[in-house]
Structure 1
């Protein structure tokens, strides 16, 4: 399978209505905003959703050993029995984990490693507290970190205009002890939501880095297929079904590995309006493909 042959840029326009797209745990789980009150979704949260959709795609295909499994799985969507990333890596890679074959084998097994990269931080097998011959402490081998740099980058999403956040006080009462006949005391809580907003984020795929991980044109098409469905099967109390949707996916495929234009210039050609409509400036020789959300 050939690696990615053409540079790709993409953008996703999404709509939020009465939902918390990405809460900040250090700020009472309020929706993230920058200092100008523009809404924000981190690249980490977006890649989590991409991984979940890719994992669902792999499960639907029958869990074949075709190199499309996902390494970084969330606890509520695991498709195997492993309880940690280390356990998964040790089970799949075996004795090769930590060797010079780690990166090659990991990229051949897991699609998200080929796409986003991964850091394998391995602890030393030497026991702590060992002494040198002269009686000094032997720091020994502190372990090794094997870093894989992926060709796919995803930026954080930002709202097109400042957002309004509504906070609602709630009461919670749970009978967690005894036979359930005695009601526990009420506790107070707060839920936050973005009333409405249009967000957009950008991403790119680099063929030069794809050569290092084996990221292929087929892998790029897999990401293209899941982007319109980013929020399907992602419902929660903070994001009720239908409260978040992908409006459009804009896909620019260049005619060469280095790209006809810089990613900055391509991304800047897209203008998104507060109602979700958009316009794209013409770039000679680079025609965008516009996909509807699911």
Structure 2
């Protein structure tokens, strides 16, 4: 693996949705997630990580070291067994007695082969059940929940369905009614963190991985278009780079420098141009620099 990153990073992602459902809530009939107290829209960290994983898998298909551990319809134990086969492990519960260093070897094997373990970490149940310390890997990259800048008002759209499933249904009726939830427009903000300390000590997350992560964040919606999600796009990625491994300033002080406001408060926003984004780069803490990507 390449050398691990040496600098801490804190970042802000701005992305938007137009006439789509950015993240359905299964507890609410798949309507867009909403903070019930404030009315602001929410998108989970799991949803965003899934899009990043899918993008990496698509552009790095077949490239060693960039496989994806958490995939749809693929049991995690299937990947875990690859490590067992690589090290000739027959009894996972007894191997620690014969090989005290097996924890680190398995962890390094999984991190070197799977990009998402190297990035986000993972819980590998096979090794947890085998009482191996490598079963839980804490990744250096973490995301919070995305929250819309303004409250959202999801709309329920009724649609007609002309595709009839069965012969009996076709004889009874020609069309059926359906529904879909959309957000007419919303701009979301999410904050993230990259720990150089965890990259060095645990997963080996490298500069090449970091550049690929930035690329994935900027393009994660480009390979994820669907009728349900409408038009979604990453509008800007704002990155604060620390000169040191542990950081030169608290993350919240840097995030407070990102200001997003609506140009005309009296009318609903319907495009990214209805907002103004300002990043206060004056008198940044010593050892911190800022770059903006779009």
Structure 1 partner of 2:114 = 110
1:127-206 alignment runs, 5 A limit: 143-144=130-131, 146-172=135-161, 174-177=163-166, 182=171, 187-206=176-195
> Is 2:69–2:116's contact at 8 Å kept on the other side of the alignment?
yes
Q: Partners in 1 of 2:173 and 2:70 — Cα distance?
A: 38
1:278 is the counterpart of 2:277 = yes
Unaligned 5+ segments in structure 1 are 76-82, 125-141
Shift of 1:280: 1.5
> Is 2:10–2:239's contact at 8 Å kept on the other side of the alignment?
yes
> Is 2:164–2:175's contact at 8 Å kept on the other side of the alignment?
no
Give the alignment's Cα RMSD to 1 decimal. Answer: 2.4
> Secondary structure at 1:264's aligned position in 2?
helix
Closer, same or farther: CA 236–280 of 1 in aligned 2, 3 Å: same
Structure 2 partner of 1:72 = 70
TM-score (norm 2): 0.81
Structure 1 partner of 2:12 = 11
> Secondary structure at 1:277's aligned position in 2?
strand
Q: Partners in 2 of 1:123 and 1:218 — Cα distance?
A: 28
Shift of 1:178: 5.3
Shift of 1:173: 5.0
> Is 1:17–1:197's contact at 8 Å kept on the other side of the alignment?
yes
Shift of 1:87: 1.5
Shift of 1:187: 4.8
Shift of 1:70: 1.5
1:262 is the counterpart of 2:250 = yes
Structure 1 partner of 2:239 = 251
Q: Partners in 2 of 1:230 and 1:273 — Cα distance?
A: 24
Greater share of helix residues, 1 or 2?
A: 2
> Secondary structure at 1:103's aligned position in 2?
helix
Q: Partners in 2 of 1:206 and 1:247 — Cα distance?
A: 24
Shift of 1:171: 4.0
> Is 2:83–2:109's contact at 8 Å kept on the other side of the alignment?
no
Q: Partners in 2 of 1:108 and 1:86 — Cα distance?
A: 17
Q: Partners in 2 of 1:254 and 1:70 — Cα distance?
A: 29
Structure 2 partner of 1:135 = none
Q: Is the deviation greater in 89-98 or in 11-20?
A: 89-98
TM-score (norm 1): 0.81
1:34-113 alignment runs, 5 A limit: 34-35=35-36, 36-59=38-61, 63-65=62-64, 67-75=65-73, 83-91=74-82, 93-94=84-85, 96=87, 98=92, 100=103, 101-113=105-117
Task: State the number of aligned residues.
Answer: 262
Q: Partners in 2 of 1:185 and 1:119 — Cα distance?
A: 49
Shift of 1:143: 4.8
Q: How far does the alpha carbon of each residue in 1:86-141 deviate from its partner, in whole angstroms, 9 at most, with x for none? A: 223324652547552321210111111011000011289xxxxxxxxxxxxxxxxx
